[in-house]
């Protein structure tokens, strides 16, 4: 073993890294050394050749005064005492033989010149010393900053590498791929929908990657107020499971990696609890259920935890908006009396219940169960659920019920909560059937020509208008036939068929063959808009959603034909070189476009079209239930049933 050194060794470290010893001088240091040597030589030469004492002084006999300063003269005696003058200058008063006055002046001038040269040298030296020190400090700071940045980059790369590594668990997912139709025409239609999806996605990637949505005409990002004007990649999260189902795996991988490394939900503005739940939480949970990728579950927990403070109200009814940074909530300013909205606080159950099942943390399910308990105990005017409720008092707002905007998905989630529970959540089923009975009695109407529609109920009167959003109910009624009381089954089938037909009429009565945001039944006008602010179409899925359910349950080919007509209309009027856009007037054969590719176009509209032209083995309804954003969540079923289904597919 080598002996230890007798003296301690010392090293300098910068950010934990030893700094090597310099072997040579810097260029600036070499210059300073040369400058000092030159100045020294200049002074030396000047002293040798120019000082007069050294060249011409004659050494000879002298007097003491030649060596010592003469005694200053005394002042006149005062009181017998003599005083010497202290301001006496012997140079001015005594002429010295040894010193030549001319030579003295030359010496003084030389000394002044030498001092000037030395002063300039000092200034130059000091300047270079200051500049060198500053440069050294600047270089050291730059090195430290570079090392910090490299360290942070290295850590981020390591973290991203971990996130990009897929950690899968077996979720027992059934029917998440395949479903290719056997006949040529249907396959051609399905392939076209897949191409539309890829086109919409590719343009989003090119022009708005990481933004919430795409403006296909402007070719830049777009963000609605529901996202708090923060870029959270809504289209990526919303459209990811559609990419997976369609087998667009390269596109899926790109979206998956963005979510892993970028989705943090750090919006500083208020965001919609409802929209974030159905789009982000629903999309992540669906992606986890289909792929088993643990990252999706972790992200879902992250987002759900940021939404939980919205439930901190006296009743447990959540606020509509939450600031995830500060953790405080509020309701929409335009909502009646500061109320929460039925379709928002009542459309959280599927996602939060499934998250509790995945994590074992009951807090998520407890929150939404509390919401249901509060509203189930309230009296319902005419058996209906008003769309407004005060989250502080738990009292209904104005008497306004709707199966469209602000009410729709609450009823959908009552039925689907029962389905997702494995059909054991009987309270949800009871509430659903009671609500549908009241809606059928109070809100379902027939037009003069026999078209069935569902109008809004306001102050005991039915508005002769139906929202595009209400058109989802055709599929909902058909989905709810199984498990319904016997006396309601036929009526549910009838309502599903007739409402889907009415909504189809709203499409084919327009110049574009696309349906308006709302349509009326007044006088000779049926299933058409008469107000300009109701004539727009923003790529909504509800009509196509009902086509999908009606096809699955009836196998009537007209629903596939109707869906194909809608797809062709989308291609003709909504497709632009930069993506798909909504239109402002469905009754205009050359409509203006709104320049927004909605995230739900990828999540819902194209997914339902693709499933419409697929076999039932793709996302079978015995194993999956769709949230209101068309994100499939698994139904609680036995492993044996899943294995049996897998064997049937083989």
Alpha-carbon distance of 635 to 638, in angstroms, equals: 10
Kindly indicate the confidence band of residue 224, based on its pLDDT and cuts at 50, 70 and 90. Answer: confident
Please tell me whether residue 336 adopts helix, strand or coil conformation. helix
- Does the pLDDT of residue 80 top 70, yes or no? no
pLDDT digits (tens, 9 = 90+) for 459-493: 999 999 999 999 999 999 999 999 999 999 999 99
Give me 19's structure tokens.
């700094």
Higher pLDDT, 316 or 36: 316
Give me 552's structure tokens.
């699955």
Sheet holding 328-330, edge to edge: 271-272, 321-323, 328-330
Cβ atoms of 326 and 212 closer than 8 Å = no
Cβ atoms of 214 and 221 closer than 8 Å = yes
186 inside domain: no
Task: Provide the domain limits for residue 413.
Answer: 207-634
Strand partners, 74: 84
The predicted pLDDT at position 151 comes to 75
Kindly indicate the confidence band of residue 22, based on its pLDDT and cuts at 50, 70 and 90. Answer: low
- Does the pLDDT of residue 648 top 50, yes or no? no
The predicted pLDDT at position 311 comes to 98
Q: Following CA atoms 247, 250, 251, 255 in sequence, which dihedral angle do they give, to the nearest 10 degrees?
A: 110
pLDDT digits (tens, 9 = 90+) for 368-383: 999 999 999 999 999 9
The predicted pLDDT at position 336 comes to 84
Residue 487 is a catalytic residue: no
Cβ atoms of 363 and 351 closer than 8 Å = no
* Nearest CA among 300, 411, 309, 312 for reference residue 356: 300
Question: Exposed/middle/buried for 262, CB within 10 Å: 0-12, 13-18, 19+?
Answer: middle
Kindly indicate the confidence band of residue 14, based on its pLDDT and cuts at 50, 70 and 90. Answer: very low
The predicted pLDDT at position 111 comes to 76
- Does the pLDDT of residue 440 top 70, yes or no? yes
Average pLDDT score, the chain: 87
User: What stretches of 262-320 adopt beta strand conformation (E)?
Assistant: 271-272
Catalytic residue from among 293, 408, 545, 604:
408
- Does the pLDDT of residue 348 top 80, yes or no? yes
pLDDT digits (tens, 9 = 90+) for 274-289: 999 999 999 999 999 9
- Does the pLDDT of residue 102 top 70, yes or no? no
Cβ atoms of 243 and 237 closer than 8 Å = no
Alpha-carbon distance of 636 to 638, in angstroms, equals: 7
* Nearest CA among 264, 261, 300 for reference residue 627: 300
- Does the pLDDT of residue 453 top 60, yes or no? yes
85 inside domain: no
Alpha-carbon distance of 330 to 343, in angstroms, equals: 16
Q: CB 113: neighbour CB atoms within 10 A?
A: 12
237 inside domain: yes
The enclosing domain of 507 has a CATH number of 1.50.10.10
3 inside domain: no
> Is 628 marked as binding a ligand?
yes
The predicted pLDDT at position 69 comes to 54
182 inside domain: no
Catalytic residue from among 213, 542, 594, 604:
542
Return the axis-axis angle of helices 363-377 and 349-359, rounded to nearest 10°. 150
- Does the pLDDT of residue 197 top 80, yes or no? yes
Average pLDDT of the residues in 163-182: 93
96 inside domain: no
112 inside domain: no
**In which residue are the tokens 């982000």 written?**
280
DSSP character at residue 227:
G
**Percent residues over pLDDT 70 in the chain:** 81
- Does the pLDDT of residue 18 top 70, yes or no? no
* Nearest CA among 193, 220, 202, 209 for reference residue 596: 220
User: Which residues 6+ apart lie within 8 Å of 281 measured at CB?
Assistant: 300, 303, 304, 307, 351, 355
The predicted pLDDT at position 640 comes to 37
Kindly indicate the confidence band of residue 601, based on its pLDDT and cuts at 50, 70 and 90. Answer: very high
Residue 542 is a catalytic residue: yes
CB neighbour burial string for 65-96, b if at least 16 within 10 angstroms, e if fewer: eeeeeeeeeeeeeeeeeeeeeeeeeeeeeeee
pTM above 0.95, yes or no: no
Higher pLDDT, 639 or 410: 410
322 inside domain: yes
Q: How far apart are the first and last CA of the chain?
A: 71
Kindly indicate the confidence band of residue 54, based on its pLDDT and cuts at 50, 70 and 90. Answer: very low
Average pLDDT of the residues in 435-452: 98
- Does the pLDDT of residue 361 top 80, yes or no? yes
The predicted pLDDT at position 115 comes to 81
Catalytic residue from among 251, 270, 275, 351:
275
Kindly indicate the confidence band of residue 10, based on its pLDDT and cuts at 50, 70 and 90. Answer: very low
pLDDT digits (tens, 9 = 90+) for 389-427: 999 999 999 999 999 999 999 999 999 999 999 999 999
- Does the pLDDT of residue 579 top 70, yes or no? yes
Average pLDDT of the residues in 148-169: 75
**In which residue are the tokens 């120019």 written?**
50
Cβ atoms of 238 and 629 closer than 8 Å = yes
- Specify the range with the lowest mean pLDDT, choosing from 16-30, 210-224, 296-310: 16-30
Q: What is the number of domains present in the chain?
A: 1
Q: CB 23: neighbour CB atoms within 10 A?
A: 5
* Nearest CA among 603, 38, 56, 515 for reference residue 279: 603
Higher pLDDT, 47 or 387: 387
Please tell me whether residue 537 adopts helix, strand or coil conformation. strand
Pairing of strands 388-389, 340-341: antiparallel
Alpha-carbon distance of 536 to 508, in angstroms, equals: 15
Alpha-carbon distance of 319 to 331, in angstroms, equals: 5
According to the per-residue pLDDT averaged within each range, which of 110-124, 221-235, 255-269, 604-618 is highest? 604-618
């Amino acid at each position: 073993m080598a002996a230890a050194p007798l003296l301690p060794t010392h090293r300098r470290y910068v950010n934990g890294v030893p700094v090597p010893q310099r072997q040579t001088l810097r260029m600036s240091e070499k210059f300073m050394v040369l400058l000092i040597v030159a100045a020294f030589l200049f002074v030396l030469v000047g002293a040798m050749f120019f000082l007069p004492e050294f060249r011409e002084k004659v050494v000879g006999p002298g007097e003491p005064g030649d060596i010592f300063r003469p005694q200053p003269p005394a002042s006149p005696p005062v009181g017998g005492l003599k005083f010497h003058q202290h301001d006496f200058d012997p140079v001015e008063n005594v002429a010295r033989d040894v010193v030549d006055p001319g030579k003295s002046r030359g010496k003084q001038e030389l000394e002044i010149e030498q001092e000037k040269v030395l002063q300039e040298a000092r200034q130059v030296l000091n300047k270079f010393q200051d500049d060198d020190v500053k440069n050294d400090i600047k270089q050291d700071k730059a090195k430290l900053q570079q090392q910090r940045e490299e360290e942070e980059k290295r850590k981020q790369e390591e973290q991203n590498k971990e996130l990009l590594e897929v950690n899968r668990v077996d979720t027992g997912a059934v029917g998440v791929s395949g479903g290719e139709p056997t006949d040529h025409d249907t396959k051609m239609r399905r392939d076209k929908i897949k191409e539309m999806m890829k086109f919409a996605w590719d343009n989003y990637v090119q022009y708005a990657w990481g933004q919430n949505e795409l403006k296909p005409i402007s070719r830049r990002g777009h963000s609605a107020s529901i996202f708090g004007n923060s870029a959270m990649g809504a289209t990526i999260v919303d459209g990811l499971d559609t990419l997976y189902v369609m087998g667009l795996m390269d596109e899926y991988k790109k979206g998956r990696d963005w979510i892993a490394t970028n989705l943090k939900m750090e919006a500083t503005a208020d965001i919609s609890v409802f929209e974030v739940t159905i789009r982000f939480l629903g999309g992540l949970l669906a992606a986890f259920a289909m792929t088993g990728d643990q990252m999706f579950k972790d992200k879902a927990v992250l987002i759900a935890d940021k939404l939980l403070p919205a439930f901190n109200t006296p009743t447990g009814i959540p606020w509509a908006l939450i600031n995830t940074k500060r953790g405080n909530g509020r309701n929409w300013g335009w909502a009646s009396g500061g109320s929460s909205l039925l379709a928002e606080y009542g459309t959280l159950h599927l996602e939060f219940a499934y998250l509790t099942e995945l994590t074992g943390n009951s807090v998520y399910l407890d929150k939404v169960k509390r919401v249901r308990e509060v509203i189930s105990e309230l009296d319902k005017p005419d058996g209906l659920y008003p769309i407004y409720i005060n989250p502080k008092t738990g009292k209904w707002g104005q008497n306004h019920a709707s199966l469209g905007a602000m009410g729709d998905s609450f009823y959908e989630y009552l039925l689907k909560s029962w389905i997702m529970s494995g059909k054991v959540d009987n309270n949800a089923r009871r509430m659903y059937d009671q609500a549908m009975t009241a809606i059928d009695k109070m809100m379902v109407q027939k037009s003069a020509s026999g078209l069935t529609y569902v109008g809004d109920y306001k102050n005991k009167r039915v508005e002769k208008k139906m929202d595009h959003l209400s058109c989802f109910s055709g599929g909902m009624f058909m989905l709810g036939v199984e498990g319904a009381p016997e006396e309601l089954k036929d009526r549910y089938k009838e309502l599903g068929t007739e409402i889907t037909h009415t909504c189809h009429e709203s499409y084919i009565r327009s110049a574009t063959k696309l349906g308006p945001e709302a349509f009326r039944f007044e006088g000779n006008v049926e299933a058409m808009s008469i107000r300009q602010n109701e004539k727009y179409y923003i790529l909504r899925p509800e009509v196509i959603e009902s086509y999908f359910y009606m096809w699955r349950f009836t196998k009537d080919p007209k629903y596939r034909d109707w869906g194909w007509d809608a797809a062709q209309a989308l291609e003709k009027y909504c497709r632009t070189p930069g993506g798909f856009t909504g239109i402002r007037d469905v009754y205009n054969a050359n409509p203006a476009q709104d320049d927004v590719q909605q995230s739900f176009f990828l999540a819902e509209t194209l997914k339902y079209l693709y499933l419409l032209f697929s076999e039932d083995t793709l996302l079978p309804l015995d194993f999956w239930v769709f949230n209101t954003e068309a994100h499939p969540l698994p139904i609680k079923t036995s492993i044996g049933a899943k294995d049996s289904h897998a064997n049937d597919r083989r």
